Amino acid sequence: MFKGAQPSGQPFIPTVQKAIARIPYDACPLCNSTQFNWLGEASIQHHPLYQPALPPTQAWKACVECGHQVTSGYYDEDALKIIFSKANPAQVPSPDTIESARYISAPIVERITRLGSHGIAKGKWLDVGCGNGALFTTAVEFGYEGEGIDVRQAAVTLLEQLGYKAFCGSFEEYAASAASNSYDVISMADVLEHMPFPRKAIQQANKLLRQNGLLFISLPNRDTLTWKIMDQTGTNPYWGELEHFHNFNRTILVSLLVSEGFKLVHYDVSRRYKACMETVFVKES
């Protein structure tokens, strides 16, 4: 349960945990302001990926300058190894989940194709945080040359065994050695909120995309009615989502992307998760 907010203007003081500590956000990862207001604290012990070595709660704060909501800190490598050692059923390919995920992915691929060059499904598609592979393998069905990146070895290994191109590691690691201007589409489906430093990820996407390439981003939108009702009823799962470091809204997401050379060309309501939005941006510079 999310523990209520401190009055506006009160200094942010995280709870001391006797477990693997997070690396504190001393400055806002979007605007570099060092001024925060406390939002509250939520238990993560109910999360299916929780393990006792992790802190039992996570605290949230809001940037005074830009309004972005962020956790008190991000995990170090030891904590990430613990988290990534397990996976939710939807994070790896399986007969029980892949077909329904394929149905959800198809309209996304179709939309990207309509927005792309001449409405033809062609070119290179990179899926960051590909999980069970549904999105980029559906793109392959449509005619794209697709590949995926994921931090969970089990998902990558299975995709490779099935004949798909996949890389195990972080987007930062992959982008460091990948050729610039080499992709027509990059997708980040419910991934950006998992990345400690979203601006850096957007810069890396800009580097890898060709001019007029498309960037698909889906993630929770904290300005939706659904989010507000979940907050009001104490049923909002995102405060206790242990893999999330950020709560975005449309305004802050678009501002971030525009500042890194992108233009919003499509907005939609996501069917993937509650209160989520789907956006498509084109690389302009």
Is the model's pLDDT at 13 over the cut of 50?
no
The whole-number pLDDT of residue 121 equals 86
**What does the chain come to in residues?**
285
Q: What is the CA radius of gyration of the chain?
A: 19
If you average pLDDT over every residue of the chain, what do you get? 92
Is residue 249 a contact partner of residue 270, using CB atoms and an 8 Å limit?
Answer: no
Is the model's pLDDT at 20 over the cut of 90?
no
User: How many whole angstroms separate alpha carbon 221 and alpha carbon 223?
Assistant: 5
At 219-236, the pLDDT tens digits run: 999 999 999 999 999 999
Q: Render the burial of 125-162: b for 16+ CB within 10 Å, e for the rest.
A: bbbbbbbbbbbbbbbbebebebbbbbbbebbbebbeee
| Residue reference for tokens 């233009």 | 263
Is residue 124 a contact partner of residue 182, using CB atoms and an 8 Å limit?
Answer: yes
The whole-number pLDDT of residue 3 equals 64
Report residue 8 as tokens: 């506006």
**Closest Cα to residue 128, out of 70, 94, 172?**
172
Is residue 117 a contact partner of residue 144, using CB atoms and an 8 Å limit?
Answer: no
At 39-82, the pLDDT tens digits run: 999 999 999 999 999 999 999 999 999 999 999 999 999 899 99
The whole-number pLDDT of residue 2 equals 64
Give the CA angle between residues 223, 29, 263 to the nearest 5°.
60
| Residue reference for tokens 């305004």 | 251
Give the CA angle between residues 268, 276, 233 to the nearest 5°.
135
Please report which confidence band the pLDDT of residue 15 belongs to, taking 50, 70 and 90 as the band edges: very low
pTM score, whole prediction: 0.92
Is the model's pLDDT at 284 over the cut of 80?
yes
Is the model's pLDDT at 19 over the cut of 90?
no
State the CB neighbour count (10 A cutoff) for residue 273.
Answer: 13
Is the model's pLDDT at 251 over the cut of 70?
yes
Higher pLDDT, 263 or 86: 263
At 81-112, the pLDDT tens digits run: 999 988 888 788 888 889 999 999 999 999 99
Q: Which range (115-124, 159-168, 169-178) has the least confidence?
A: 115-124
Is residue 221 a contact partner of residue 236, using CB atoms and an 8 Å limit?
Answer: no
Q: What is the mean pLDDT of residues 109-116?
A: 95
**Closest Cα to residue 216, out of 122, 123, 116?**
116
User: How many whole angstroms separate alpha carbon 165 and alpha carbon 143?
Assistant: 15
Q: Which range (117-121, 176-180, 181-185, 198-202) has the least confidence?
A: 117-121
Is residue 146 a contact partner of residue 166, using CB atoms and an 8 Å limit?
Answer: no
The whole-number pLDDT of residue 172 equals 95
Is residue 136 a contact partner of residue 147, using CB atoms and an 8 Å limit?
Answer: yes
